[in-house]
Structures are given as structure tokens and as C-alpha cells.
Amino acid sequence: ERAVSEAQRNALPPCRTMTAGVLSSLCRSNAAILSQKLALIDSLIARHGPVVARDKFTLVCPIAGASIGQHFRHSMDHVELAALVAVEAAHPSNGRIIGEVSSTTGEVDQQLRTPEIHYDLRVRGGTLERDVDESRKRIVSVAKVFDDLSTAVATGSEEGVGDLPVWTNFFLSADERGETALKSTIARELGFAAHHAIHHMAMVKIIATHSVGLSEDDLPENFGKAPSTVKYGSTLE
């Protein structure tokens, strides 16, 4: 891998400190996706009734090779982890304190322990992908986390949370025995969670319109579309 020259490094734009506005946007983006998930569940129930909707939620689409429940569970795993780490960073506990004043020296200990996210250590096949009611409860619960975080950001009590570091861990290859750790920030992972969820929503749209009897009119506007796609589409109108 070619090293970056000093001239190239100096040409790179400086890193920006995370503003409250950016963190609020990240919270709104994730909350909007969660709202769309709830709207789809409501559409399933409205179209088929609560009993049949439970079956449709777990029906495996032959095109996508998965069910709505599986895609919801998988994307919620990522969103929930990012949200909970953000809250933990804002309200540290269990010894994980950033910027704590030392009781012995009176000086600030900058970091005791950086939080970790293990995206690939998840439970498959459980009730969160098989039970539409439990899936709804989970979505509502995580939406409440983003709502509380947005309120805290708006009052100025969580300034700087987005810049706090976090270790993210992935299995990058099926041949590797262990995870690979990558250093990131709270804001970066909230952005990743939203971006990741949108692509799964695109798959859910295929399942909804091809296998479970919903039409595009049953879905929220721009369901499963990335913001960049929506923006591009607006230029063609």
C-alpha cells in the first residue's frame, strides 16, 4: 500500500469538530428510517389483518432470499448498537468515563476506556425477526433513544459526543478466525447505521411489493431510497 506523502497529507482538509447540528441530523436520519419501518408494519396489518400480517412478516421472498423480519432484525442490530453506544458516551457508566476529573491529582483523565461495537456478533433466527409485535417494540424503543438524544443535543448538554472515539469490530473474511478492529467515532457510526439501514430497506421494498401483497402506494414516500438518489431524482423533474 502506497504511503501518503507529506504534501498530500498537508493538502487534505482538516477534520472538523462535530457540531450539534450534525449530530441532530444523524439522529433525525435514523429516527426517520425507524418511522418508515413502523409505517410498513402498519401497512401490513392494514392490508392483511394482524394474524396474516405475522405470517407475511416472516415470509421468505424468493427474489431477495430473506423475509422482511430478517432484514428488519439485521439492520436494527446495527442501529441499536450505534444508538446505545452514543447514549453510553453521553452518560458514561460502569467505569467508562471520558474527561473525568481525577480524585488524586485534580487533572482530567482524558480516556479510561473506549467503547466497542461488535457488529457481527448477533443473534439470528430469534423472536426479533419472527415476531412482528416484538420487532415493533424494539423499533419504538430505539426510536425513543434517538428522541432523547436529540432533545439532549438541542439543549446543549451533549456537545462533543459525536467526536468521541469508538472501536468497531468486523469479520472481514470468512477465512479469518477473529474480528478486525477499526477506530471510529460516535457520529461516524450513527451515519453508518443509517446508510446501512437504507440499503436493507431497499431490499424490504422488493419483498413488500413482490411477495407480501403490498403496493408502492402502501409504502411511505421514498421508502428504501438513499438521500443521494432522492436528490438526483429531483433534478430530473
Q: What is the DSSP string of 17-77?
A: PPPHHHHHHHHHHHHHHHHHHHHHHHHHHHHHHHHHHHHHHHPPBTTTTB-HHHHHHHHHH
Phi then psi dihedrals of residue 88, to 5 deg? -65, -35
Q: Using alpha carbons only, what angle is made at residue 227 by residues 224 and 233, rounded to the nearest 5 degrees? A: 90
Give 100's strand partners: 109
pLDDT at 205: 96
What are the pLDDT tens digits along the chain (237 aa)?
A: 344 444 444 443 444 445 668 888 999 999 999 999 999 999 999 999 999 999 999 999 999 999 999 999 999 999 999 999 888 876 665 444 333 333 444 444 444 478 888 888 777 768 889 999 999 999 999 999 999 888 887 777 666 778 888 888 888 887 878 888 889 999 999 999 999 999 999 999 999 999 999 999 999 888 888 888 888 788 887
Cell numbers linked to 80: 441499536
The residue assigned the cell 460516535 is: 186
Task: Enter the C-alpha cell of residue 10.
Answer: 498537508
Buried b (16+ CB within 10 A) or exposed e, 118-130: ebeeeeeeeebbb
**The dihedral of CA 152, 158, 159, 163: what is its sign?**
negative
Instruction: Please give the single-letter amino acid code of residue 54.
Output: R
Find how far residue 4's CA is from the centre of its chain: 31
pLDDT reported for residue 104: 46
Cβ-based burial of 24 (10 A; exposed 0-12, middle 13-18, buried ≥19) = middle
Decide: 194 and 35 in contact? Cβ < 8 Å. Answer: no
